[in-house]
Structure 1
Amino acid sequence: MAARARKVRAVSNPNDPLRRLDVPEREEAPDSDEPEARWSTDGDRYEPPAGWAAPPRSVPTSEGPEQLPVHEFHHPLDRVTKGLPRRARIAVDWIVTIVGAIAIVLAIKAWVVNPYRIPSSSMEPTLHCARPESGCEARFSDRVLANRFIYRFESPKRGDVIVFNVPPEAKVKCGAGGTFVKRIIGLPGDRVQDRVIHGAGYIFINGQKLDEPYIQQSRRDVGPTKTWRVPQGDYFMMGDNRASSCDSRSWGFLPRSDIIGKVFMTYWPPNRISFR
């Protein structure tokens, strides 16, 4: 091994157009037995000294681009459709997506929230129906959302506006079935009285007059005075349009099991959007 360093010119690529330019001299390290790096014969790449370890896989080499691992399956559905042609796999993927979306919507309607349209004037002026139906005040019927799970965590309260399945007796008395929207007036065990005062009906609960700011004076009923005792497990329902509502005064009490949910929002028309 040489004992001293010597002045040499830096190695450059022989095909480099700048190879004729002068470059500053540098000191070469003392001679060693290690092989030197060199340019390839075609001058296109820089070759490491012989015996050096191959570069990591993430660095492109002269052998070609890095081969990334291929995942056989992207999601569980691929395992089912792996033998199908590409078009068939795409079709199956769309079908599963659409069916899944429909299932989610149906589950939400069945157990969480469901929309309803107000068809009659029985809840005017709180909830509007569309003209030209008798007693309706609006151009469009209100559409509301009912919370279907809230009564799993709390009991229905007086004043709640609820959606419920129509009892059999109501279908006979009112000539309509399906679902109704009314307000809870009497709770289990209550004594409910519809008392006529100066030609208009007022509700008394256990002897106390019920404050009802949602009732228009012109929409109160005119009697006669009647009294009901609400059985345990049942509720006494009334519409806010007392003069035109077919409710518990006609068909009796509502079993707890027929309650669907509590109305918590009006979402249509836009000028009627509100929460309650």
Structure 2
Amino acid sequence: MDFALILFLLSVVTGILWFYDVFKARKQRVKGTPDPWWVEYGASFFPVILPIFMLRSFWVEPFRIPSGSMIPTLLVGDFILVNKYAYGVRIPVINKKVIEVGNPQRGDVFVFRYPHDTTQDYIKRVVGVPGDKIEYIDKKLSINGQAVPTSVAGDYVQGLDSLTRLSETIDGTQHYVLNDPAKPQEPGSIPHAFSENCQRSSKGLICVVPPGNYFAMGDNRDNSADSRVWGFVPEENIVGKAFFVWFHVDSILPPKGIRFDRIGGFK
């Protein structure tokens, strides 16, 4: 079950118990009588659960990075904060936007619900916004006919592989991406909505982003299942903008343990 739904239900149930106790049951109890169990273990949680629910639903939510698709920007084991207000105020649980604040911009790192299974949260970088023409040919990215500025920034060792690290700038946002020379140009695809908006070849693909959708790519370009594979990100699936690494526990690659050098903002 969705954690947001669990928090919502707990807030409703404990809120009902709290209001019933404050405005009716408490007045009827004999003075000095201990609170009944449903107050102690129910209504007493309401002042704690409600602020957590409100904070998580409308302002900021923590996430943990489970995969390497955003290396080198984000590593497995990073704990990040996501600004849920940046892209508008949404009704919790149904995720419907009710107040317009802003929209994802090219270069943003954002969290969204995977279009093919909305119970899963994904994190990628926004590469294309509605109406953009995205070309990824021979592992070179172009947006609306303009090649994205890139430069070689050395090698990056990932496990037993040595990948090429590139500095990339999208609309003024500079970040690093990885290319694996051993991987094919075109990563393959699965059926998805608006698949007719994409043309594919052995060299890559060309896509026009449909209205109300976004094109997302992982910074670990050849080790990321993203819009090149499963299609566009609908606006209603967006959760928020990632902006800060607040903790890191590395349990996979050495050196294992807490890494304080990972704490801070990211590009």
TM-score (norm 2): 0.61
C-alpha spacing 1:219/1:266, structure 2 compared with 1 (3 Å):
farther
8 Å CA contact 1:188, 1:232 repeated in 2 = yes
Tell me how large the CA RMSD over aligned residues is.
Answer: 2.6
1:40-189 superposed matches below 5 A: 77=22, 80-82=25-27, 83-89=29-35, 92=39, 95-129=42-76, 141-152=77-88, 153-168=101-116, 171=117, 178-189=120-131
1:226-237 superposed matches below 5 A: 226-237=205-216
8 Å CA contact 1:219, 1:241 repeated in 2 = no
Residue 147 (structure 1) shift:
1.0
8 Å CA contact 1:165, 1:259 repeated in 2 = yes
Higher alpha-carbon Rg: 1
Residue 233 (structure 1) shift:
1.2
Residue 155 (structure 1) shift:
1.5
Taking the aligned partners of 1:259 and 1:221, their CA distance within structure 2 comes to 29
8 Å CA contact 1:220, 1:243 repeated in 2 = no
8 Å CA contact 1:219, 1:242 repeated in 2 = no
Residue 177 (structure 1) shift:
5.6
Percent identical pairs in the alignment equals 34
Residue 251 (structure 1) shift:
0.9
Q: Which has the higher contact order (CA 8 A, sep 6+)?
A: 2
Taking the aligned partners of 1:101 and 1:191, their CA distance within structure 2 comes to 47
Name the SS of the counterpart of 2:66 in structure 1.
coil
8 Å CA contact 1:194, 1:202 repeated in 2 = yes
Structure 2, unaligned runs of 5 or more = 1-20, 89-100, 150-167, 169-174, 186-202, 249-259
Structure 1, unaligned runs of 5 or more = 1-75, 130-140
2:241 is the counterpart of 1:274: no
C-alpha spacing 1:216/1:192, structure 2 compared with 1 (3 Å):
same
**Which protein is richer in strand relative to its size?**
2
TM-score (norm 1): 0.59
Name the SS of the counterpart of 2:69 in structure 1.
helix
8 Å CA contact 2:179, 2:222 repeated in 1 = no
Residue 96 (structure 1) shift:
3.3
Taking the aligned partners of 1:104 and 1:220, their CA distance within structure 2 comes to 49
| Offset from partner CA, 1:120-139 (integer Å, 9 cap, x none) | 1100011101xxxxxxxxxx
Name the SS of the counterpart of 1:226 in structure 2.
strand
| Offset from partner CA, 1:113-167 (integer Å, 9 cap, x none) | 11111111100011101xxxxxxxxxxx001111112111112100110110010
Which residue in the other structure is 2:176 paired with?
214
8 Å CA contact 1:194, 1:227 repeated in 2 = yes
Taking the aligned partners of 1:167 and 1:218, their CA distance within structure 2 comes to 26
8 Å CA contact 2:179, 2:220 repeated in 1 = no
Name the SS of the counterpart of 2:50 in structure 1.
helix
8 Å CA contact 1:123, 1:240 repeated in 2 = yes
8 Å CA contact 1:220, 1:241 repeated in 2 = no
8 Å CA contact 1:220, 1:242 repeated in 2 = no
Taking the aligned partners of 1:109 and 1:207, their CA distance within structure 2 comes to 39
Taking the aligned partners of 1:98 and 1:217, their CA distance within structure 2 comes to 50
* Count of residue correspondences: 180
Taking the aligned partners of 2:24 and 2:119, their CA distance within structure 1 comes to 49
What amino acid maps onto 1:206 in structure 2? Answer: N
